[in-house]
Structure 1
Amino acid sequence: MRPAQRNEPQRSDPSTTARVCALLTAFRPGDEALSVSELARRAGLPKTSTHRLVSHMIANGLLERDGAAVRLGLRLFEIGQLAIRQRGLVDSARPHLADLREATRNTVHLAVLEGTEVVYLDVLRGPDAPRLPSRIGGRFPAHATGVGKAILAHAGEQAVEKVLETSLPAVSRRTITSPAILRKQLATIRAEGVAYDLEESGVGVVCAASPVLDGEGAAVAAISISGWSNRMRTERIAPAVRTAALTLSRKLR
């Protein structure tokens, strides 16, 4: 029986895996470091179990000590970078995103669909754009975003049904919460190639988005430009977003 290597992760049963995930996701944007007691409270775990798991996670580089507290480890950053690079999207998309930001001075996003949410792979903030809650690695309900609707319009029925099963919670007063209206919008987006967020993700914010398609016509990601509703005319910037998405689609193929 060979001895376990120092950097080899310890085997975990499903319950242990769920607890490790609970501890990692207990960290929120803006958190530098958390005490073990605070981690246990946020994750809803006993302190004794949390102390034991934290020790294992430190040993495997998932967490790092910061005095009496702990913070997320660099190993997580390495894993995250691998996940992004495997998609082959960020490096290919970055020049197009930069051009869009330069031309519009608004915020540009690259996002993918995961379940009922979009995950932002890249965010280039524009100097004339509002402060948005989006961040790299952050999530947002797909039905309330331009990028989410752009992807859903070119996703299978199973993906759309999964989103509809969430009952389409309202993020702002203009979020689409009607399945019939959302389906009608998705059909229009599929025909036109552009999706709009008209203050559906936040008051005063609008965006135009377009899908990045694979060779079979399925969306693998979406690009969007977001700005102030009283400054940015979505119909004017839509062609630029559409062109960038089509160019990136061809490049990825």
Structure 2
Amino acid sequence: MALQHEPTTPYHSAQDALRVLETVVRHGTGVTGTELARHTGIGRERLTGLLRMLRREGYVEQVTDGAYVAGEALARLGSAESRARALRENLQRALDRLRDSVGAAVYVSRYVDGEIRIDQFAAGPATPVVNEWVDFRYSAHATAIGKSLLGQLDHNGRRDHLSRHKMARLTSRTITSDKVLLSRLESQPPTVPHLDLQEYAVGTVCAAVPITAGSSVGCLALSLPVRHAHRLRQAADALNRNAAPVLLSLAI
């Protein structure tokens, strides 16, 4: 199964942030912004934004002389036995902030061994999670998550998935023709969010954007009650713009 990855802006931001972290770790006693710019080759304006994000996420701290050192979130990853838990906690904090900044429930999903898997999500009283009334594994054709993940597979990978999962009609808006779905996936630009406009569940709209972490197929998604549908595209753009911390926590 070939993958159709096209690195996104958040991906490049996460890669640059990793370079900054590697430099900070190498200079255990602290490294200044000027030194970071010289060692990483990243421009000062861009570096300032990356350092602001890394401080907010707890990956670096600024000490009294202005130098940068490894932060608590990075230190927690040092112990092998606690690494998995620390990675999960770092990702959850990034998702919680993303939920608050876009004003919607957010989800991280991956395509693993031919199936859709929701890894983690962040929701709350004002940002309710989608009611999974039909297993997400069997409803890729109707969900923004499913369409985003399928969109990253090659044609044979998509056909294989659809041959194993019947395209059931879940609402009056659900696409049930594999030809129609495959045509739409084929023509969708990789930088444009996939949408679910009450195709999975009446009363809910969703959007999903691809995330590139290694060779895996993944996506970042959000859901909104249909009364907030007018905010969907704006929220999807914000989701894409602010995805770097989530990508970073997946890439570390």
Aligned-pair identity in percent equals: 25
Confirm or deny: 8 A CA contact 1:108 1:123 kept in the other structure. yes
Confirm or deny: 8 A CA contact 1:193 1:211 kept in the other structure. no
Which residue number corresponds to residue 227 of structure 2? Answer: 230
Which residue number corresponds to residue 157 of structure 2? Answer: 159
Kindly indicate whether structure 1 or structure 2 has the higher relative contact order, using CA contacts under 8 Å at least 6 residues apart: 2
Give distance in 2, aligned partners of 1:161 and 1:192: 22
CA deviation profile, 1:147-200 (whole Å, cap 9, x unmatched): 111111112333201222134112222221112221233234443341111111
Which of 101, 111, 116 is the aligned partner of 2:109? 111
Q: Please show how residues 8-27 of structure 1 align to structure 2 within 5 Å.
A: none
**Aligned-partner SS, 1:176:** coil
TM-score under structure 1 normalisation? Answer: 0.55
Give distance in 2, aligned partners of 1:175 and 1:163: 17
Offset at 1:204? 1.1
Which residue number corresponds to residue 121 of structure 1? Answer: 119
- Is the radius of gyration larger for structure 1 or structure 2? 1
Give distance in 1, aligned partners of 2:143 and 2:169: 12
Give distance in 1, aligned partners of 2:113 and 2:216: 14
Give distance in 2, aligned partners of 1:174 and 1:187: 20
The residue type paired with residue 207 of structure 2 is A
Give distance in 1, aligned partners of 2:166 and 2:137: 18
TM-score under structure 2 normalisation? Answer: 0.55
CA RMSD of aligned residues (A): 3.3
Give distance in 1, aligned partners of 2:106 and 2:132: 10
Give distance in 1, aligned partners of 2:153 and 2:91: 20
CA spacing shift, 1:109–1:201, aligned 2, 3 Å: same
Which residue number corresponds to residue 17 of structure 2? Answer: none
Confirm or deny: 8 A CA contact 2:109 2:119 kept in the other structure. yes
Q: Which runs of 5+ in 2 are unaligned?
A: 1-80
The residue type paired with residue 220 of structure 2 is I
CA deviation profile, 1:183-225 (whole Å, cap 9, x unmatched): 233234443341111111100100111111145xx65221111
- Is 1:98 the counterpart of 2:96 in the alignment? yes
Give distance in 2, aligned partners of 1:175 and 1:245: 28
- Number of positions where the alignment pairs a residue of Structure 1 with one of Structure 2: 167
Which residue number corresponds to residue 66 of structure 2? Answer: none
Q: Which runs of 5+ in 1 are unaligned?
A: 1-81
Give distance in 1, aligned partners of 2:112 and 2:170: 18
